[in-house]
Amino acid sequence: MENKSKESSKIPPTVDQKIKRRNFISFGVFFAASTGAIAGWEWLLKSPKEKFGITGGTRVPLRRALNKTELFFRNFFSNNHLVKTYPAEMAAKQVRINSLIGIEEDLHFDPQKWKLSVLIKNGESLNINLEEIKSLPKTEIIYDFKCVEGWDQIQHWGGVKLSDFLNHFKLDEEIKKQYMGLQTPNGKYYIGLEMQSALHPQTLLAYEMNGKPLANEHGAPLRLIIPVKYGIKNLKRIGTMSFSNSRPKDYWAEHGYDYYSGL
Ligand SMILES: Nc1nc2c(c(=O)[nH]1)N[C@H]1C(S)=C(S)[C@@H](COP(=O)(O)O)O[C@H]1N2
Ligand SMILES: [Mo]
């Protein structure tokens, strides 16, 4: 009874008053949200820059967010899925040649003199020649190679699974590291990979294209073919392989491209 009398003693607001109240609330919300956005932006601009080197240089909180997104995609996509493959007839006969950093300086390269140098613990290294690599089981893949510059092409590659290679040379301690780094023999082109993508079953150390030994422009005598990544990570002419728990330096990441560059 008492409640009822209280209710009825209230005068209901007029339509005008209702509109005013709504306006007040929505302007209030708008004002608070914009202040928040401006403050957030200022906070981002004033926040410290990340150390230049491994990546292209951005604000620390932004990088933190980028890393979280990367982790999400890493866990849910690349490492658990297989890239689509095609019948060999669909592979391009004229394979595109993109950039030649780390190769153009020595286009008349002698594959006979080449050795892959694998940097292992205690500063030691394994020096492996092409014959040894070719004696391991061969794997071929025909898939759609994608370059970040916007082209793609179905290509046919042959070589050794990187995971088979690592097992064969008993690099068990090394694959426990978080990253693998690869560089051309002259050190002018270099990339870093998270170990999961290096161990992906479709990642190859390739020595053949369309069933023939690699041409110099395509990275003779041995290149990386990593279908879960964009072209930039598919390093041509591998000279050195290394392992670490911090991100190895990466040529295009230094120029502002995404370090992960996954597909
Ligand atoms: N050593 C070396 N490897 C490299 C590059 C390079 O400039 N130098 N370019 C990368 C890029 S951007 C792409 S798209 C592919 C292209 O490989 P292709 O020339 O065999 O088509 O190689 C990758 N590997
Ligand atoms: Mo590329």
Q: How many other β-carbons are positioned within 10 Å of the β-carbon of residue 225?
A: 24
CATH fold of 85-255: Sulfite Oxidase; Chain A, domain 2 (3.90.420)
Query: What's the CA gap between 205 and 198, in Å, rounded?
Result: 10
Please answer whether residues 178 and 194 qualify as being in contact, where contact means their C-beta atoms are separated by less than 8 angstroms.
yes
Give the integer Cα–Cα distance in Å for 190 and 102: 9
pLDDT digits over 126-171, tens only?
999 999 999 999 999 999 999 999 999 999 999 999 999 999 999 9
Q: How many residues does the chain have?
A: 263
Q: Is 119 in the pocket of ligand 1 (CB under 6 A)?
A: no
Q: Decide if pLDDT at 260 tops 60.
A: yes
pLDDT in tens, 14-62: 877 777 877 777 777 777 777 777 777 777 777 777 665 666 677 777 7
Q: Tell me: the pLDDT tens digits for 192-220?
A: 999 999 999 999 999 999 999 999 999 99
What's the pLDDT tens digit per position in 78-100?
556 899 999 999 999 999 999 99
Q: Which of 32-46, 75-89, 226-240, 248-262 has the lowest mean pLDDT?
A: 32-46
Ligand 1 centre and the CA of 40: distance in Å? 39
Pairs from 166-172 (Cβ < 8 Å, separation ≥ 24): 166/198, 166/199, 168/136, 169/118, 169/126, 169/128, 171/118, 171/120, 171/243
Nearest CA to ligand 1 atom 10: 232
Q: Which residue lies with its CA nearest to atom 24 of ligand 1?
A: 235
Domain boundaries, the chain: 2-46, 85-255
Mutate to test the pocket of ligand 1, among 95, 96, 98 (most ligand atoms within 8 A of CB): 98
Q: Which atom of ligand 1 is nearest to the CA of 99?
A: 7
Ligand 1 centre to CA of 253 (Å) is 14
Residue 27, burial from CB neighbour count under 10 angstroms (0-12, 13-18, 19+): exposed
